[in-house]
Amino acid sequence: MKLLIAAGGTGGHIYPGIAVARELLIRDPESEILFVGTARGLETKIVPESGFELALINSAGLKNVGAKGKIKGLTLLPKSFFEARKILKDFRPDVVVGAGGYVSGPVLITASLMRIPTMVMDSNALPGFTNRRLARFVNKAALTFEESLSFFGTKGTVIGNPVRKEFFEVRPKQRSDVFSILIFGGSQGARAINNSMTDALEHLKGLAGRLKIVHQTGESDLDQIREFYSRTEFADSDVRPFITDMMAEFEKADVVICRAGATTCAELAAAGKASVMIPLPTAADDHQRKNAESFVDAGASLMLVQSELSGASLAAVIRELIETPNAIDAMERAAKRLGKPDAAASAVDLISELAYGKKG
Spell out the domain ranges in the chain.
2-163+341-356, 167-337
Which CATH number fits the domain 167-337, given the four candidates 3.40.50.2300, 1.20.1090.10, 3.40.50.2000, 3.40.50.300?
3.40.50.2000
For residue 147, pLDDT beyond 60: yes
Q: What is the pLDDT of residue 72?
A: 61
Q: What is the pLDDT of residue 9?
A: 84
For residue 47, pLDDT beyond 70: yes
Strand partners, 276: 257, 302
Average pLDDT, the chain: 92
What is the model's pTM? 0.82
Residue (of 255, 259, 330) closest to 299 by Cα position: 330
For residue 169, pLDDT beyond 70: yes
Answer for the pair 76, 54: CB distance below 8 angstroms, yes or no: no
Q: What is the mean pLDDT of residues 132-155?
A: 93
Residue 193 CB neighbour total at 10 angstroms: 28
Tens-place pLDDT, residues 64-79: 555 665 556 566 778 8
Q: What is the percentage of the chain residues whose pLDDT exceeds 70?
A: 93
For residue 306, pLDDT beyond 90: yes
From CA 210, how far away is CA 199, in angstroms rounded? 18
Q: Are strands 53-56 and 32-37 parallel, antiparallel or unpaired?
A: parallel
Q: What is the pLDDT of residue 146?
A: 85
Q: What is the pLDDT of residue 111?
A: 98
* pLDDT tier, 123 (very low <50, low <70, confident <90, very high otherwise): confident
Q: Which residues contact 26 (CB under 8 A, 6 or more apart)?
A: none
Q: What is the mean pLDDT of residues 258-279?
A: 95
Do 2-163+341-356 and 167-337 agree at the fold level? yes
Q: Cα dist. 312→204, 308, 309 in Å? A: 9, 10, 8
Q: What is the mean pLDDT of residues 93-117?
A: 95
From CA 18, how far away is CA 48, in angstroms rounded? 11
Q: What is the pLDDT of residue 269?
A: 95
* pLDDT tier, 359 (very low <50, low <70, confident <90, very high otherwise): low
Q: What is the pLDDT of residue 70?
A: 58
Q: What is the pLDDT of residue 126?
A: 80
Q: What is the pLDDT of residue 286?
A: 83
For residue 120, pLDDT beyond 60: yes
Which CATH number fits the domain 2-163+341-356, given the four candidates 1.10.260.40, 3.40.50.2000, 2.60.40.10, 3.40.50.300?
3.40.50.2000
Tens-place pLDDT, residues 209-268: 899 999 999 888 999 999 999 999 999 999 999 998 999 999 999 999 999 998 999 999
Q: How far is CA 210 from the centre of its chain?
A: 30
Q: What is the pLDDT of residue 334?
A: 97
Q: What is the pLDDT of residue 145?
A: 84
| Beta strands per DSSP E along 51-110 | 53-56, 95-100
Q: What is the mean pLDDT of residues 318-329?
A: 97
